[in-house]
Amino acid sequence: MSDPLFQPIRIGALEIANRIAMPAMHLNMCKNFQVTDHLIDFYRERALGGVGLICVGYATVDEYSGSPGNIGCHTDDHIPGLSQLALAIREGGARAAIQLNHAGRYNPSFFLAGKQAVAPSAVPSRLTRETPRELESAEIAAIIERFAEAAERAKKAGFDLVEILAGTGYLISSFLSPLTNRRKDEYGGSLENRMRFGLEIVGRVKERVGHDFPLVVRVNGNDFMEGGIGREDLQTFAVALVAAGADALCINVGWHEAAVPQIVTKVPRGVFAYLAREIRNKVSVPVIASHRINDPATARHLLREGFCDMVAIGRGLIADPLFPQKAREGREDLIVHCVGCGQGCFDNIFKMKAVECLCNPRAGHEKDDVAERTAVPQDVLVVGGGAAGMYAAVAAAQRGHRLTIHERSMRLGGQLRLAGAPPGRGEFLILAEDLERQLAEYGVRVVLNSCVDKVFLERERPDTLILATGGEPIVPNIAGADAPQVAQAWEILAGSRQAGRRVAVIGGGAVGVETALLLAEEGTLSGDELKFLLVNGAESPESLYQLATASNREIFLIEMTDKLGANFGKTTRWGMLQDVERYGIVPRLVAKVLEITDNGLRFEQDGRIEELLVDTVVLAVGTRASNPLQQVAADLSIPCQVIGDAGTPGTVFEASHQGFRAGRSIL
């Protein structure tokens, strides 16, 4: 049977070699709206990796529509850079598209020299916490024309097609939604009126660029906003877009303000494709499904079962630019899968940084990081087989060095195994397996259940030593911390200790929150169980929700500061805190534990001393470096690097990048 991923497809008159599209994602790699070599290098590598279509962006249509880190398409001065970008993509073998957008009420005044953002109505934005001003009729007409002008610039620059973003809470979708459109003129009120702005943009763009030039519209299948537009009206809008001239539709989900997670690891792979199928059943143009499609098996399933005509793989191609090539060549076991952490691709945007990736430390550094083969291969010993150690070994082996990893336990992965233990975090376990296969691919020798000590190093004398020995959990200076009913969070996450019915977790950082959620979900119904009961009408939806979120455990989170999960990334934290409330976990903030007793613990909060009766106390108060070999290496004059938690405890993102840079630095 032929592979559906690699069948050609047409959008309008344009033929695309395969069914894999890379959707537009803001990368923050432009300078003052101008395309940079940084951006070109990033996309060139993805084009060379075998993707059929790359859509860059979003790109701005006027000075109100984005930030200086966006791709500019609102003046002719942007055309030379756009031409270089389109050419790099096309020379790499992919078709080049550019997405046009106006951020509307989502653009903060910070990017507008203090001016107000614009919107259909003056409805405050929960994203920026600012109130936009209402557009006047003449301004609406001008914006419609600017979309058309920007599309014409894109065509002149050499792009093969143009995409318009009509979802996600940006300007077009804010006209569409009754939540944000309170207008009384021809652009407000009825659905027909609220659709008018987006439809007029599509029509005017087609007039300007010609009906033979392909146009895609990216639109929500559901906005996931209470009181918003909803699925049925969005399907009506999709049909109207095709009638107005859209040659294909790319279906995304949610607004940035929506309470439904959309891109993080807890979102099941391909779960939102049902929205694409519902629209595909109503239109006659190709439909592209998107969100959390990060492996070929899921992509093939969606194509074969008629959910869509193409699959949009965004962060999966940040994590592994060779995803399509590996899938086409039957080497998909070597794909490094996106874990959906959002730490480099989304959190960086909020930090005003260019996109990077936990799974792929080369992402965003393509030109700076070329694995040139060494002229003098070295014997390199890596001690520790966690994320830092594995990334270091792969990076050094790619340069031609001879690598050996010694791991003291019986399996590789280190804290990736702990990170993947909580519910909805299993992608980290997949990453551990991906890296293990990378080690085999590059000929890294792995020795498990091995304790490296001074005698070993004296005997082996490697040319270079990389210490990735990790960390160990901190035991706080609290009376009773060594009592038998006290467990470390790592033990709970690893499954080597069990907890009682009433549990206090000391430490409300990321590890504490994840441990509390793991314990809370034990005893709830699984997805398969819930589907069985739902399909057979055994319980009401309300009862099933209760059974999915309630167990017999009572869990308390004790945190000294006034915030839970402060060390989570912005992308992940809000969803985690939402789950803390959903599962009935009780936080006690600004609380200091004084003593762990036989029956629970005593803590001080708001100047009062309280006693909490629990069966199990779980410690999640942090990590300290475990690095017994650095001084030994110095005494033996063995060149040595210390990486990951063995140096300074940090995140998996930091460990992967430190490890990779350490491996690459070996000349």
Tokens of 421: 């233990």
Question: In this structure, are residues 134 and 188 in contact, taking their beta carbons and an 8 Å threshold?
Answer: no
Mean pLDDT of 558-582: 92
Nearest-10 crossing angle of helices 191-209, 230-244: 30
**Residues 6 or more apart whose Cβ sits within 8 Å of residue 201:** 144, 147, 148, 164, 166, 172
Q: Over 80: is that where the pLDDT of 125 sits? A: yes
- Rounded to whole angstroms, the Cα distance separating 260 from 148 reads 33
Question: What integer best gives the mean pLDDT of the chain?
Answer: 96
Element (H, E) at 618: strand 616-619
Angle CA 318–322–324, to nearest 5:
105
CATH superfamily of 379-463+650-664: NAD(P)-binding Rossmann-like Domain (3.40.50.720)
- Rounded to whole angstroms, the Cα distance separating 208 from 369 reads 42
Least confident interval from 228-237, 362-371, 492-501: 362-371
Note if the bond before 170 is cis, omega within 30 degrees. Answer: no
SS3 state of residue 350: helix
- Rounded to whole angstroms, the Cα distance separating 15 from 361 reads 33
DSSP string, 578-607: HHHHHTT-EEE-SEEEEEE-SSEEEEEETT
Residue located via tokens 């194509």: 303
Indicate the residue type of 300.
Answer: R
Q: Over 70: is that where the pLDDT of 601 sits? A: yes
- Helical H runs in 525-651? 527-535, 541-549, 570-582, 630-635
Q: Are strands 464-467 and 379-383 parallel, antiparallel or unpaired?
A: parallel
Read off the pLDDT band of 75 (50, 70, 90). Answer: very high
Angle CA 466–359–289, to nearest 5:
170
Question: Which residues sit opposite 380 in a β-bridge?
Answer: 403, 464
Nearest-10 crossing angle of helices 652-664, 387-398: 30
Q: Over 70: is that where the pLDDT of 492 sits? A: yes
Note if the bond before 58 is cis, omega within 30 degrees. Answer: yes
Mean pLDDT of 645-667: 96
E-assigned strand segments in 392-542: 402-406, 445-447, 464-467, 471-473, 486-488, 502-506
Question: In this structure, are residues 37 and 331 in contact, taking their beta carbons and an 8 Å threshold?
Answer: no
- Rounded to whole angstroms, the Cα distance separating 118 from 186 reads 18
Q: Over 80: is that where the pLDDT of 603 sits? A: yes
Tokens of 49: 């990796």
Angle CA 472–474–477, to nearest 5:
155
Question: What are the pLDDT digits (tens) for 27-60?
Answer: 999 999 999 999 999 999 999 999 999 999 999 9
Q: Over 80: is that where the pLDDT of 199 sits? A: yes
Indicate the residue type of 229.
Answer: I
* CB burial readout 571-589, b (16+ within 10 A) else e: bbbebbbebbeebebebbe
| Terminal C-alpha separation, the chain | 46
Read off the pLDDT band of 621 (50, 70, 90). Answer: very high
Report phi then psi at 248, rounded to 5.
-165, 160
Indicate the residue type of 57.
Answer: G
Question: What are the pLDDT digits (tens) for 273-328?
Answer: 999 999 999 999 999 999 999 999 999 999 999 999 999 999 999 999 999 999 99
Number of H helices, E strands in the chain: 22, 28
* CB burial readout 442-472, b (16+ within 10 A) else e: bebebeeeeebeeeebeeeebebbbbbbbbe
Indicate the residue type of 390.
Answer: M
User: In the prediction, which pLDDT does 82 show?
Assistant: 98
Q: Over 90: is that where the pLDDT of 367 sits? A: no
Tokens of 582: 């959903």
Q: Over 90: is that where the pLDDT of 250 sits? A: yes
CATH topology of domain 4-350: TIM Barrel (3.20.20)
Residues in the chain: 667
The closest of 415, 389, 591, 570 to 504, measured between CA atoms, is 591
Q: Over 80: is that where the pLDDT of 1 sits? A: no
Is the pTM value of this prediction over 0.85? yes
Question: In this structure, are residues 374 and 481 in contact, taking their beta carbons and an 8 Å threshold?
Answer: no
> If you classify domain 475-621 with CATH, what class do you get?
alpha beta
User: In the prediction, which pLDDT does 552 show?
Assistant: 87
User: In the prediction, which pLDDT does 290 show?
Assistant: 96
- Rounded to whole angstroms, the Cα distance separating 264 from 425 reads 9
Read off the pLDDT band of 423 (50, 70, 90). Answer: confident
Q: Over 80: is that where the pLDDT of 409 sits? A: yes
Question: What are the pLDDT digits (tens) for 426-455?
Answer: 999 999 999 999 999 999 999 999 999 999
Q: Over 80: is that where the pLDDT of 144 sits? A: yes
* Per-domain residue ranges of the chain: 4-350, 379-463+650-664, 475-621
What percentage of the chain carries pLDDT values higher than 70? 100
Q: Over 90: is that where the pLDDT of 105 sits? A: yes
